[in-house]
Every structure is written in C-alpha cells, then in structure tokens.
Amino acid sequence: MATVTTAPLEALEESWYEPPGLISWFTTVDHKRIGMKYLVTALVFFVFGGIESLIIRAQLAGPNLHVVNPEAYNQLFSMHGVTMMFLFATPVLSGFGNFFVPLMIGARDMAFPRLNAFGYWVFLAAGIFLYSAFLIGHAPDAGWFNYTPLSDAKFAPGINIDFYALGLVFVAISTTVGAINFIVTILKMRAPGMSINRIPIFVWGELAMSFAVVFALPPLTVACVLLELQRRFGFHFFDAGSGGDPLLWQHLFWIFGHPEVYIIVLPALGVVSAIIPTFVRRRMVGYTWIVVAEMATALIGFGVWTHHMFTTGLPQIALSFVSLVSFMITIPSGVQIFAWVATLVAGRPVLKTPMLFVIGFILVFVLGGLSGVMFAAIPFDAQVHDTYFVVAHFHYVMVGAVIFPLFGALYYWLPKMTGKMMDERWGKVSFWTIFVGFNLAFFPMHIAGILGQPRRTYTYPGGLGWAVPNLISSVGSFLLAAGILITFVNWAWSLCRGAAAPNDPWGGDTLEWATSSPPPEYNFETVPTVRSLEPVWDQPELRDGAQPPEKGGRILLGGHLTLSTSMLDGRPRAVVAMPHATAWPLVATVGLLFGFWGVVFGAYLLAGAGALLFAASMVGWYWPKGETQEG
Amino acid sequence: MRTKEDPLVPTIPTGVPGERLRSVASGPDAFGWWGMWGLIATESLLFGSLLASYFYLRFRAGAGAWPPAGIHKPELILPLVMSAILWSSSIPVHIADQGIRRGRQAVARFGLLAGFLLGATFLGIQALVEYPKILKEFHPSTNAYGSMFFTITGFHGFHVVVGLLISLWAQMRAWQGAFDEHRHVTIQNFAMYWHFVDVVWVGVLFTVYLSPHL
C-alpha cells in the first residue's frame, strides 16, 4: 500500500465508483457483483430443483404411494432435470467464473461488462419464464430431454412443452453471451506477463467450457426452434408421416447434450485444480497435462453423442465408432485424476473443509466414471438403458462433480467474496452429512436399476426387490438436503458473526489472494505484471495489495480503464475504456421476457411489444455517451 | 494498428515510468473484434445444424423422394440472380471498411449505403418475388421439404434484416462523423457480420437450391 500515494488511489476510486444501495444491484456492471448475483440466483434454483427431487423421492419411498398425482410427477422430474442442468449447474459455476476469472488474470473487469449484466438478467428471466409454467400448472412434462414424438403437439397438447422449447432457447442466449465474454476476457485481458503457460487451471477450465458452449448450444437452439415451429405452426421435422424423423430430435439434442456434461464438469474440475495446490502447499503436478486433458475432454465430448442412442437401431458400424470414442474420453479424465492424486501424495495435505470436499469429489467421480465406462460397452448399455442404473451413474457424475467442488469452492472463496470466514467445524459436519447422504441416496439406485426399475415411472408394485433400495435412496436424499442446508446456515451465520477474512486466508497461489477481501471495485490498485504460474507465492511484492510501478504495476488513471494484452504472451497492447453502470441490459431482458411470454401464450401483440422494447433498449445501450471509446 | 511511436495515435500514461499505451484500439486489440468472431462461430453452428438437419431428412427420405412427389426441383435462375446481388453487396461494405481506416469519411458513408441498398434489394426479391411464387406450389406445413426450405431461407433472411438494422446504425454514426482512422470498430464489426451473412448464403444456396438437382 505504501507505494501508491493517496491521491491516485482516490482518483481510481472515483473512476470506478458505483453508488451503493438496492438500485445499483439492478444497474451494476461490476463482474464481482454480477458473479454474486449469478451464484445466489443459481443456488435459489438449486433449492427449487432440490425440493422437486425430495417430492420425487417421497413419492418413490415405497411401492404404490400417491404423494402427488402422476401429471404433477411428470412435471416434477422434468423440471428437476431442466432446473439442475440449465438453471443451476451451468450458471452457478459461471457465478464463480464471473467473480474470479478477472481477479485470477489480474484484469479490472470482464471484456464486455454490459453484456455480462445482460447475460445475468437473461438467465434470471429464463428461470422466471420456466417457473411461470408451474404457476399455471403447465410445466414441461416430457423429461429433460423431451423426446419426440412424445413432445409433439399431438401427444402433448398443452403449452407445457412450449415452455420447454422457448425456455431453453431463452436460457441459451444467456449461456452463449456469457461464454463469448469469458473467451474474450481470458484471451485478451490477462495481466502483462501472464503468457498462456501461466494461466491458472481454473481459468483454463472456464475457457474450455466456454468454447464448448459456443459450439454445442446451437444444435439445441435449432432443435427447440424446429420443435416449436412444428408444434405451433404445423411445420414437419420430427413426424415420420410427413417426411420428418423423430430421431432428428435425438441427434440434435445429444450433439448438445453430451458436451453439456463437460460444460458443467470442466469448470468444476478447474475448481478442484485451484483448491488442491493451496491445501497441499505445492504446485500442481503435471500442469501442462491437466490443461491438455481439459481441452481434449471438451473436444472429444463432441464425438460421443450417439452413445445416448445405442438402443435406437442405428447402424452397428456407427455404434462401434462411438463406443470407441466413449472409451477414449476416459483417458483425459484419468490423466487429471492421476495428476490430482500425485499432487496430494507429493505434498502435505491440510484437511480443511474445501480440501475434504475435493477428496470426496475424487472418490465419487471415480465411481461415476467407472459406471460410465460400463455404458461405453454396447451390450451392457442395452441391458440397463433407461433404468435407475443410468440415473445412479449421471447423479454420481453430475452431483459428484458439481456439488462437491461447488461446496468446496463456497468454503474456499466465499471469504474472498464476502469478507467473512465460514465456520470450520460446521463445514466439516456439512461435508460428512453430504457425503454420507449422497452415497445413501444414489448408490442403491445402481441396484434398483440392475433389478430392472425403469426411470421416470410414477410408482412401482411391491415384491420386485425395489422397495428397500428406494427407501434407502429416499432417506439418503433427505440427509443430503440436510447437509446442504447446514452449509447455507453456515454462510448466513458467517455474514452476521463470521471473523473478518484476511487478504489470503488459505495461503493461495493465484492473483485473487493478492487483493483485499472483498476486493475493491477496480480489483487491484495497480494491474500487476506476472512473472510466475503461482504469482502470489513467487512475487512477494504482490502480497501488499499493490505492485509498485517499478516492478511493473500499472495504475491506469484517468478513467474506467483496463488493459488489452496480446493473446499468447500477454504483452500490453492498449488501454481500453470500460462502460459504466447502466439499466439497459435489464430493460432489454424485460423486452425479451415479454416477447417469450407473448409467443408461448400466442399473444403476438405482446410479443411484438417485447421485441420493440428490446430494439429500443439496443439503441439506448449503444447511444454514444462520450466517456467510452467510440468506434 | 500503428505502433505507439505514431504521434497521431492517442495514448495515455500507464503509471509505469515513461510508458504510454494507445487509448483506442481496433482489429485484434479491440475486444469487440473478438466478440464478433465469437458470435460468428456460434452462428455458423446454428446454420450448420440447420443444413445438417436438411441433409439428414433428405437422406432418410431416400432417393427420388426429395423433393417429394408433386413438388418440382427448385428453379435456379432467380436464386442465382439473388445470390449475385447479395454477394456483390459485400464489395462496397469492404471498401467502406478499408476507407475508414485511412480516415476517408465519404468512402465509408457511401460504401455502407450501397451495401445497404443491395442487401435490401436481395431481401425485397426474396419476400416479394420468390416467396409468393413458391407458396403457390408448397407451404412450410406441406411436408418436411417445405418446412426445411422456408425455415432455412427464412432464418437467413432474418439475419439479413438484422444486418440491415446494424448498417442503419453504422450509417447514422458515420454521418455524425463518429469514425476516423483510429476509431472504427463499429464499421469493422458490421463488415465482419455482413460478410458472414453473405458467406452463409453459399451454404444455403448449395443446400436448398442446388443439392436437390444432384
């Protein structure tokens, strides 16, 4: 601090000032506040999806129960899947990404701050749109992958599926703009000296995820648009009678659907690679290998979609190829697991709560990976297709690879975000409750599946051997929920009573630990020059909060400024002026929301009004203000 | 593009003793240039998915059933004329893009205008001449062939409309004198988007109009 005199610091604070208070949460373009909003909103949807799953488990706790009626049950499991995939797992890690990618790369914001705000609002609006279907009792009810012809107008005449098709297009807008923002931020805004071999692994994970989003979401968007055209306007794409083909939906959906798994998992794996070095007190083993493995996973993930379609009667030769690629994709996952284990063995692990969640993750992820390899074998897959064995597998992979790293990340990073430490003891209680509850909830599903219990069924008769595993699952799911609740209470408690967090409570290696907790609006008093993969460990001057100019710290006075650097070697290229807080992204989103509501209800005047509001907000958004660079 | 020694480029001090960096950026130093490439990448996959769906349904339909009985193979003269008009619109847009890099205001203004007029002509022919003619033969809801034809060409047409709207904005700013040899990311990004929409038409022309003849 001593190296920067007070006067420039005041100028910096004035340039980056955002007014406090409630209103500013609606206009902010600060990546940290947007990241916080993403995180909290996604966790609210997580609670919604969780309540849905608890009702499902109550319904399935014993044979022949009628806790809810079958129509409600269909809506519950469909919305559970849609919520957890699109409104929780993808955006929640965007929340951490938004908050921490600019901090980790030493930037002052994301590349497109207003687009960032827009992405958040669209995510929220798409969630409101999908959940508004529940309010009128017509939530999507054909499963999260919504196969035709079940989802065609003939067999699903209500507007339930229209909410699905339009809702997913809506949320895809948010995910796509967010991903492009991450890519540009990571490629162009890294601190001087942060060449590509010095990018933190978490940031690599976000980059790989973002590329997968850019290339994987369009097929889903096309599928949903085609489905809506067919349902609403009598087009023909998926009905065999008029030259369409129901399998077209499955292809389009899974070309998106399998990369989506990696879209969710890659940032979570990045979290693991961020937490491990801090708590074993040594650098990661095999940095390059892990990065290459992440990229390979994102790439190979595009070649395996038909392994979701092994039982649809496709040609044998195509299936054999996909089976091979599906075995192949275990290799990069294995590389990462061995690198983590090697780091754990080579260092001296400190078993704080974040580390416990990471170790829990490795155990669960390996189990989920093992059942995944089993599916790559076509004969086995045919046997357990559409049974609870599949449900067990993807909950091990998805819940295991998202919830465990996510909760580790909450304990690891919330002190930086809120400035308050969480309680360690309750953290450990939460971990063990989640770990036991998780395995109780999902392991018995393997057995129920092998015993033949089909997924998505409303209830089942007694005497098939399914009652015991289902009861254990139901008990486990409530225990899992209790463990999750403990962490939420711990968080709330820390906000009121938690000890103040120092800059670097864990002794971390990446740049977010070089600034205060919570960080100031401008992130760093001087944009640091980086000379190491673990800058906070290797550059002692960073720990004081500001790198002095003679060591390369750039204060960039005279406006809302950040650096543009070269893509490969991080050389400074230009100073870029960033936009200020604005309400236009919110107004644009309101226009979109009314547009989508207008279409789903067939109120095309409303849809037109929404489109006009959106267009008008674009004019307001781009209207020259004089403060930012035109051109 | 020029180095920081160029005395005409606006620069500001960074705080590191003696160092100044450019305060305006275009090309790969501007974030917007990368953002536009991101948009083009994801939009390419949108069109790619649509065209792949077209071929998927075509090959599932089998030989001789595409277009289905009762529908003629697409006429080629009009689409080729439309293609010539659309592709030629990229030329003045490119000239405008190059011109503003040398600070030539009039070249930018009239280049954008010419591109706009050619794009609007393409759209006018599609909406007022081609579609009415085809609708006499089949509708989007006639069969999968009709659905695909109107979905793909309509989706492309929608992109032309968006391009024309962006062009109007860029033209307004150009007439206000907002651009010069250093500040021109808006024109640059519009030009990239416009060329993309024209390149996509190559795929659309081949798939929807030419491939049924193969």
CB contact under 8 A, A624 and B173: yes
Q: What is the pLDDT of residue A15?
A: 86
CB contact under 8 A, B186 and A217: no
Element containing residue A562 per DSSP (H, E): strand A561-565
Nearest to A252 among B41, B53, B61 (CB): B53
Q: What is the pLDDT of residue A60?
A: 97
Instruction: Kindly report the nearest CA distance between residue A184 and chain B, in angstroms.
Output: 6
Torsion angle defined by CA atoms of residues A506, A512, A514 and A520, in that order, rounded to the nearest 10 degrees: -120
Residues in A closer than 8 angstroms to B182, CB to CB, are 631
DSSP character string of A356-407 = HHHHHHHHHHHHHHHHHHHHHSHHHHHHHTTBHHHHHHHHHHHHHHHHHHHH
Instruction: Kindly report the nearest CA distance between residue A160 and chain B, in angstroms.
Output: 22
Interface test with B, best of A4, A236, A256 (most B CBs within 10 A): A236
Interface test with B, best of A3, A114, A576 (most B CBs within 10 A): A576
Is the CB of residue B34 less than 8 Å from the CB of residue A111? yes
DSSP state of A452: T
Residues in A closer than 8 angstroms to B141, CB to CB, are 233-236
Q: What is the pLDDT of residue B100?
A: 94
Torsional sign, CA A386, A389, A390, A391: positive
Is the CB of residue A189 less than 8 Å from the CB of residue A563? yes
Residues A241-255 as b or e (16 or more Cβ within 10 Å = b): ebbbbbbbbbbbbbb
CB contact under 8 A, A631 and B28: no
Q: What is the pLDDT of residue A395?
A: 96
Task: Give me the residues of B, 75-104, that contact A with CB < 8 A.
Answer: none
What tokens appear for A384 in the block? 């357990």
Task: Give me the residues of B, 137-156, that contact A with CB < 8 A.
Answer: 140-141, 143-148, 151
Angle at A97 between CA A93 and CA A103, to 5 degrees: 155
Q: What is the pLDDT of residue A6?
A: 59
Q: At what angle do helices B31-61 and B185-204 cross, to 10 degrees?
A: 10
Residues in B closer than 8 angstroms to A574, CB to CB, are 21-25, 29
Give the predicted TM-score (pTM) of the model: 0.95
pLDDT per residue as tens digits for the range B163-209: 999 999 999 999 999 999 888 999 999 999 999 999 999 999 999 99
Residue of B nearest to A172 (CA): B42
CA distance A132 to A475: 30
Name the residue type at position A320: S
Instruction: Kindly report the nearest CA distance between residue B52 and chain A, in angstroms.
Output: 10
Q: What is the pLDDT of residue B116?
A: 98
Q: What is the pLDDT of residue B4?
A: 43
pLDDT per residue as tens digits for the range A463-511: 999 999 999 999 999 999 999 999 999 999 999 999 999 999 999 999 9
Question: Model ipTM?
Answer: 0.94
Q: What is the 3-state secondary structure (H, E, C) of chain B?
A: CCCCCCCCCCEEECCCCCCEEECCCCHHHCHHHHHHHHHHHHHHHHHHHHHHHHHHHHHHHCCCCCCCCCCCCCCCHHHHHHHHHHHHCHHHHHHHHHHHHCCCHHHHHHHHHHHHHHHHHHHHHHHHHHHHHHHCCCCCCCCHHHHHHHHHHHHHHHHHHHHHHHHHHHHHHHHCCCCCCCCCHHHHHHHHHHHHHHHHHHHHHHHHHHHHHC
Is the CB of residue A436 less than 8 Å from the CB of residue A397? no
Assess B158–A contact: CB distance below 8 Å, yes or no.
no
Residues in A closer than 8 angstroms to B144, CB to CB, are 236-237, 242-244
Interface test with A, best of B2, B14, B24 (most A CBs within 10 A): B14
Is the CB of residue A414 less than 8 Å from the CB of residue A496? no
Half-sphere exposure of A161 (CA within 13 A, CB side): 26
CB contact under 8 A, A631 and B29: no
Is the CB of residue A374 less than 8 Å from the CB of residue A380? yes
What tokens appear for A13 in the block? 């604070």
List the A561-565 sheet strands across, edge first.
Answer: A561-565, A572-577, B20-22, B11-13
Pick out chain A residues at pLDDT < 70. 1-7, 626-631
What tokens appear for B176 in the block? 């206000």
Instruction: Kindly report the nearest CA distance between residue A233 and chain B, in angstroms.
Output: 7
- The partner residues of B11 in beta bridges, in order of sequence, read B22
Task: Give me the residues of B, 27-86, that contact A with CB < 8 A.
Answer: 28-31, 34-35, 38-39, 41-43, 45-46, 48-50, 53, 56-57, 60-61, 65, 68
Instruction: Kindly report the nearest CA distance between residue A613 and chain B, in angstroms.
Output: 15
- Give the β-pairing of B20-22 and A561-565: unpaired
Mean pLDDT in order along chain B per 10 residues (214 residues): 57 88 86 96 97 96 88 95 98 97 95 98 97 96 96 98 96 93 92 98 97 92
Residues in A closer than 8 angstroms to B13, CB to CB, are 557
Helices assigned H by DSSP within A301-352: 316-328, 330-346
Which candidate, A159, A235, A120, places its Cα nearest to that of A600?
A: A159
Instruction: Give, in order, the Cα–Cα distances in Å from B184 to each of A26, A195, A530, B24, B100.
Output: 31, 29, 32, 10, 7
CB contact under 8 A, A180 and B21: no
Name the residue type at position A508: G
Nearest to A549 among B16, B50, B180 (CB): B16
CA distance A573 to A570: 9
CA distance B168 to B174: 10
Element containing residue A131 per DSSP (H, E): helix A113-135
Half-sphere exposure of A20 (CA within 13 A, CB side): 0
Torsional sign, CA A568, A570, A571, A573: positive
- Give the β-pairing of A561-565 and B11-13: unpaired
Which candidate, B75, B74, B107, B70, places its Cα nearest to that of B91?
A: B107
Name the residue type at position A219: P
CA distance A178 to A157: 34
Assess B15–A contact: CB distance below 8 Å, yes or no.
yes
Residues in B closer than 8 angstroms to A8, CB to CB, are 15
Which candidate, A437, A442, A445, places its Cα nearest to that of A482?
A: A437
Is the CB of residue A344 less than 8 Å from the CB of residue A278? no
What distance lies between CA A70 and its chain's CA centroid? 31
Assess A568–B contact: CB distance below 8 Å, yes or no.
no
Instruction: Kindly report the nearest CA distance between residue A345 and chain B, in angstroms.
Output: 41
